[in-house]
């Protein structure tokens, strides 16, 4: 693997998931693989799971880890060509990306959507700039439009908990007070399109994700109907894509509760976290024995580790 920017950068998803599960059993098996090499984790946004799990994964592989919070420890970058840089941006990505690349062997980046400029967000300017300029492997730790490290952890988790060869999987929107990005939902959809599953997306009308991503994935506007006989219920809020970045709907009736889970096939409850209890999901669901959110978060270490392992092997 050269870069890990998109779930499609994984050549064989099923095989990768199985290898990650093997790795989990003996996480220090390849602790010499990264020796003498350095990974830089660049955070343009806050993070908990990604910050800790990626460091853990990198250290399990023997990599040196350098963490930088661009906002508080660095300065603003310019991404446009030809600009007269006399405002608040102190450095151009052309220099920053090339320079950073010289101090490390792999660079992992978190750079959220603006949620104000759809086309800019879709252009994935931060990630694509590093990919174009850095000349070293670039890893997506959640970008404007995708979170493939989460999607891979989700695939690992579903492999561990699935009871049917072709499970029914529902991605459900849920309400949230703030405008959240589409990245997690997008990557989950893209990952599901690679799986042998009966996959349904449910959300209020008007909350359609980017059609270029959802393609022919089935959409069911009736949440309860979508949940019927589901084996996995994956919940996530996102802001409107059509009315870009806006919170048009906070309908409490879309919160996941026990009544809704009751019509499923004892579905596993999944969420990428952090989650707002009793807004996105009722305590009774997230605290139930069918909730696998903690195990899902744990698999973030192994999705990062299998990705970094593949990258190291191909260097």
Site of interaction with its own copies (CB under 8 A): 28, 31, 36, 38, 40, 43, 46-49, 51-53, 55-56, 59, 64, 66, 68-69, 72-75, 78, 81-87, 89-92, 94-96, 98-100, 102-104, 177, 273-279, 283, 286-287, 293-294, 297-298, 301
First and final C-alpha spacing in the chain: 8
Annotated ligand binding at 176? The verdict is yes
Annotated ligand binding at 172? The verdict is no
Q: Which is nearer to its own copies, 52 or 164 (CB)?
A: 52
Using CA atoms, how far residue 233 sits from 47, 188, 250, 292, 300, in Å, is 24, 12, 19, 10, 19
Q: Which is nearer to its own copies, 5 or 97 (CB)?
A: 97
Q: Which is nearer to its own copies, 68 or 194 (CB)?
A: 68
Upstream peptide bond of 80 is cis (omega within 30 degrees of 0): no
Q: Which is nearer to its own copies, 133 or 171 (CB)?
A: 133
Compute the distance between CA of residue 81 and CA of residue 71 in angstroms, rounded to an integer: 22
Inter-axis angle of helices 93-103 and 125-134, nearest 10: 60
Using CA atoms, how far residue 102 sits from 7, 71, 80, 89, in Å, is 26, 21, 22, 22
Annotated ligand binding at 47? The verdict is yes
Compute the distance between CA of residue 187 and CA of residue 197 in angstroms, rounded to an integer: 16
Annotated ligand binding at 173? The verdict is no
Closest CA to 203 of 249, 144, 150: 249
Q: Which is nearer to its own copies, 261 or 293 (CB)?
A: 293
CB of 160 to its own copies, least distance (A): 14
Query: Side by side, which strands form the sheet with 38-43?
Result: 64-69, 38-43, 106-110, 138-140
Annotated ligand binding at 75? The verdict is yes
CB of 303 to its own copies, least distance (A): 13
Annotated ligand binding at 51? The verdict is no
Annotated ligand binding at 178? The verdict is no
CA–chain centroid gap for 145, Å, is: 9
Longest dimension (CA), the chain: 60
Q: Which is nearer to its own copies, 59 or 193 (CB)?
A: 59
Annotated ligand binding at 40? The verdict is no
Strands 198-202, 168-173: parallel, antiparallel or unpaired by DSSP? Answer: parallel
CB of 69 to its own copies, least distance (A): 6
Using CA atoms, how far residue 53 sits from 296, 297, 300, 303, in Å, is 12, 9, 6, 9
Known binding-site residue numbers for N(2)-succinyl-L-ornithine: 142, 176, 236, 276
Question: Can you say which residues are annotated as belonging to the binding site for carbamoyl phosphate?
Answer: 47-50, 75, 110, 272-273, 300
């Amino acid at each position: 693997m050269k870069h890990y920017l998109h779930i499609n950068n994984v050549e064989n998803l099923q095989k990768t998931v199985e290898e990650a599960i093997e790795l989990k059993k003996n996480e220090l098996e390849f602790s010499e693989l990264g020796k003498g090499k350095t990974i830089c984790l660049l955070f343009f946004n806050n993070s908990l799971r990604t910050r800790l799990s990626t460091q853990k994964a990198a250290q399990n592989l023997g990599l040196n880890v350098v963490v930088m919070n661009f906002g508080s420890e660095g300065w603003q970058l310019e991404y446009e060509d030809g600009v007269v840089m006399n405002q608040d941006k102190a450095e151009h990505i052309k220099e920053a990306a090339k320079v950073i690349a010289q101090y490390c062997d792999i660079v992992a980046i978190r750079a959220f959507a603006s949620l104000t400029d759809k086309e800019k967000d879709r252009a994935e300017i931060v990630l694509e700039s590093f990919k174009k300029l850095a000349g070293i492997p670039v890893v997506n730790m959640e970008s404007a439009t995708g979170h493939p490290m989460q999607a891979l952890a989700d695939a690992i988790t579903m492999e561990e908990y699935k009871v049917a060869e072709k499970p029914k999987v529902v991605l459900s929107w849920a309400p949230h007070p703030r405008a959240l990005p589409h990245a997690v939902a997008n990557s989950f959809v893209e990952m599901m399109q690679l799986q042998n599953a009966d996959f349904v997306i449910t959300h209020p009308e008007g909350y359609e994700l980017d059609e270029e991503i959802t393609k022919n994935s089935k959409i069911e506007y009736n949440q309860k109907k979508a949940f019927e006989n589901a084996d996995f219920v994956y919940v996530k809020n996102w802001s409107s894509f059509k009315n870009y970045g806006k919170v048009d709907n906070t309908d409490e009736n879309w919160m996941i509760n026990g009544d809704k889970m009751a019509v499923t096939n004892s579905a596993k409850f999944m969420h990428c976290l952090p989650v707002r209890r009793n807004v996105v999901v009722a305590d009774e669901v997230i605290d139930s024995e069918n909730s696998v959110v903690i195990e899902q978060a744990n698999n973030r270490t192994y999705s990062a580790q299998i990705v970094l392992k593949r990258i190291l092997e191909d260097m």
